[in-house]
Structures are given as C-alpha cells and as structure tokens.
Amino acid sequence: MTDTTHMTDAGGTDESRISEARARGVAKMNEVYGWKLPADVPGDFFAVTADHLFADIWTRPGLSVRDRRLLLIGAITAQGQNDVAKIQINAALHNEELTEQQFEEAAIFLCHYVGWPLATGLNNALIAVKADRRKAARAKEKAAADSAKTDTD
C-alpha cells in the first residue's frame, strides 16, 4: 500500500504545497497590511496565519480586502481588541481603503450594536493612530527639510 499521508491532491508534497501557500499568504499579508514581510518567518503560529488565514481565507472570491477589513473591524471592536484595531486602522489608512472620517462613522455606528464602551475603544484607537501618523509625517517633513538645508550649505 502506498503512503499518501504526505501527498496533496495535485500529487505534490505537503512541503511544495506549503511553499506555494506561504508565498500566496505572505503576498496577501503584505498587501493587506502594507508590509514587506519575508516568507521565512519561523514558527507554527505564523505558518497557520500565512498558509491558511491569508493564503486561503483572505484570498477567497466574493469580498474585497476593504470588505474583509470592515468585517474584521466590527469583530475586533465587539471583542474590545483595541491594539488589533490600531493595526487594522493604520493598514486601512495606508492602503487608502477607508478615510479617518469613515472610521469615525464606523465607531458611531458600532456604538449602537456593540455598545458605547467597546466602540469608544475603536474611536480611541483611531485617535491614537491619527496622532501617530501625524507625528510621523511631521518627522518626515522635518528630516526632508533638514536634508535640503544640508544640501544647500
């Protein structure tokens, strides 16, 4: 009898399937978050995240990244996951999927479905992300101005 425990339906090994899944997953993660994450991050948690969640779930047809992000924002708001909300808000703003005003509207909307304290957490996460982004923009502008001044001296 042939051992098929390490064969995929297409006849490839699990290792080649995982490599293809890893490439798809990391590419989608980088798209979703605006990162430049390498594919060789060690660990089982990363493997499941990249090889399944992002390679198989985030790439399914029927919903855009923006649609999935809105669903995720609702879910993490309902759970009070404000640190995760900051990551999602920053990525959505970076990718121009949503505006700051749309996030404010989402927080107001979610107040009525998940409760005021939880949606206030989303609004507070938005306030923190906006402040961080403005601070980073000011620092970048200052560095550019300092560089230009040094070049002219």
69-113 per-position pLDDT tens digit? 999 999 999 999 999 999 999 999 999 999 999 999 999 999 999
Residues with Cβ within 8 Å of residue 39, at least 6 apart in sequence: 22, 23, 26, 50
Question: What tens digit of pLDDT does each residue of 101-124 get?
Answer: 999 999 999 999 999 999 999 999
Give the separation between CA 93 and CA 130, rounded to whole angstroms.
Answer: 9
Number of Cβ atoms within 10 Å of the Cβ of 132? 12
Q: Return d(Cα 128, Cα 7) in angstroms, integer.
A: 48
Q: Is 7 helix (H, G, I), strand (E, B) or coil?
A: strand
| Predicted model pTM | 0.80
Q: What is the per-residue burial (b if ≥16 Cβ within 10 Å, else e) of 98-118? A: beeeebeebbeebbeebeeeb
For residue 32, give the amino acid letter: V
Q: Residue 2: pLDDT above 90?
A: no
Distance, in Å, from the CA atom of 11 to the CA atom of 2, rounded to the nearest integer, reads 13
pLDDT at 153: 67
Could you tell me what percent of the chain has a pLDDT over 70? 88
